[in-house]
């Protein structure tokens, strides 16, 4: 009896359980044990309506949802990079686990819907790396090897490059007073936008066109300059303005996967 152990887990009605160790009775063909689903989804024994949500549970759920919403808006959340957006829910089986993630979402971009459109400008920004600069850290509580990451020293050179690019952009922008101006600071301006929604529509349309041009310029240049830099795209994500940039990235860094690869410990098989 002990041989069955606890490890069996689950309802335990696994395949091997068919033999009953101690059959104290004669075989009775009329006894039917529920087994062998004929259909994929045999009739469920009791689908019932759950008890209504109590006021306490209502508070707890609201707390939870509100917290989750805040976390997702906050700097630490990273969006999914699922290669196939229509794939079923997440798998955590040992084998398939890593395969389900794209190493670079841009490389798998849908050319029709993936490009940022005007109407998408209010969509929450997609982030694949947490934006650590927006969160206070007590460095001493972290292992030393992470300190540079926390301080944003990492890729300092990259930043220098970007800064130069930004300077150029800013020079062009300097003449304009656009709503999106503050973007580079890292503080999102959702509510700003909300406030300006009506009045600023015209202005932002113009700005948009202009900015696109700017990005083209900056992007192309950066692309050349940063070719040997690692993880340039990610740096961009971390330091670049959040409301702009999907198209910019797409054009600029579709070769990014290779960059990543240099950083892989085992070279990785990226091209599954």
Tell me which residues in 210-269 interact with other proteins (CB under 8 A): 230-231, 234, 238, 242-243, 260, 263-266, 268
Q: Which of 107, 129, 172, 217 binds other proteins (CB under 8 A)?
A: 129
**Is 60 near other proteins (CB under 8 A)?**
yes
Q: Which of 115, 117, 122, 205 binds other proteins (CB under 8 A)?
A: 122
Q: Give dist(CA 11, CA 116) in Å, integer.
A: 48
Count of residues interacting with other proteins (CB under 8 A): 126
**Is 62 near other proteins (CB under 8 A)?**
yes
**Is 58 near other proteins (CB under 8 A)?**
yes
Q: Which of 59, 176, 213, 258 binds other proteins (CB under 8 A)?
A: 59
**Is 115 near other proteins (CB under 8 A)?**
no
Q: Give dist(CA 174, CA 127) in Å, integer.
A: 28
Residue with tokens 């579709």: 254
CB atoms within 10 A of CB 44: 7
Task: Report CA torsion sign: 213, 214, 217, 218.
Answer: negative
Q: Which of 178, 184, 190, 221 binds other proteins (CB under 8 A)?
A: 190
In terms of residues, how long is the chain?
272
Q: How far apart are the first and last CA of the chain?
A: 46
Q: Give dist(CA 266, CA 262) in Å, integer.
A: 9
Q: For residues 130-149, which are near other proteins according to CB under 8 A?
A: 130-132, 134-138, 140-146, 149
- Which helix (H) or strand (E) segment holds residue 191: the answer is helix 190-196
Compare residues 35 and 175 and give the one whose CB is closer to other proteins: 35
CB atoms within 10 A of CB 172: 15
Q: Which region among 30-38, 164-172, 204-212, 244-252 touches other proteins (by CB under 8 A)?
A: 30-38
Compare residues 109 and 150 and give the one whose CB is closer to other proteins: 150
Q: For residues 148-177, which are near other proteins according to CB under 8 A?
A: 149-150, 154-155
Compare residues 111 and 136 and give the one whose CB is closer to other proteins: 136
Cβ-based neighbours of 82, under 8 Å, separated by 6 or more: 100, 101, 102
Residue with tokens 């949802």: 65
Compare residues 143 and 175 and give the one whose CB is closer to other proteins: 143
Exposure letters 113-125 (e unless 16+ CB within 10 A, then b): eeebeeeeeeeeb
Q: Which region among 64-72, 109-117, 164-172, 217-225 touches other proteins (by CB under 8 A)?
A: 64-72
Q: Which of 169, 180, 188, 246 binds other proteins (CB under 8 A)?
A: 188
245 CA to centre of own chain: 16
Q: Which of 27, 29, 49, 111 binds other proteins (CB under 8 A)?
A: 49
Nearest to 236 by CA among 103, 87, 244, 13: 244
Question: How near is the Cβ of 63 to other proteins at its closest, in Å?
Answer: 4
Cβ-based neighbours of 87, under 8 Å, separated by 6 or more: 100
**Is 181 near other proteins (CB under 8 A)?**
no
């Amino acid at each position: 009896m002990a041989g069955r152990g606890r490890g069996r887990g689950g309802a335990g009605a696994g395949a091997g359980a068919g033999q009953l160790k101690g059959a104290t009775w004669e075989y009775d063909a009329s006894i039917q044990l529920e087994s062998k689903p004929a259909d994929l989804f045999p009739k469920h024994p009791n689908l019932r309506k759950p008890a209504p949500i109590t006021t306490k549970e209502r508070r707890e759920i609201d707390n939870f949802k509100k917290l989750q919403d805040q976390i997702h808006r906050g700097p630490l959340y990273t969006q999914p990079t699922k290669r196939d957006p229509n794939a079923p829910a997440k798998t955590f089986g040992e084998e398939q686990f890593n395969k389900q993630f794209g190493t670079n979402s841009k490389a798998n971009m849908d050319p029709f819907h993936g490009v940022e459109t005007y109407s998408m400008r209010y969509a929450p920004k997609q982030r694949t790396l947490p934006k650590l600069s927006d969160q206070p850290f007590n460095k001493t509580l972290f292992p030393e090897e992470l300190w540079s990451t926390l301080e944003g020293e990492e890729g300092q050179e990259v930043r220098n490059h970007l800064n130069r690019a930004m300077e150029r952009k800013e020079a062009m922008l300097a003449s304009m007073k656009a709503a999106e101006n503050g973007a580079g600071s890292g503080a999102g301006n959702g509510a700003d936008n909300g406030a300006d929604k009506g009045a600023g529509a015209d202005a932002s349309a113009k700005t948009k066109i202009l900015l696109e041009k700017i990005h083209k310029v900056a992007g192309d240049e950066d692309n050349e300059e940063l070719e040997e830099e690692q993880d340039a795209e990610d740096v961009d994500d971390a330091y670049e303005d959040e409301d702009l940039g999907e198209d910019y990235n797409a054009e600029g860094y579709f070769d990014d996967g290779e960059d990543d690869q240099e950083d892989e410990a085992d070279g990785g098989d990226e091209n599954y």
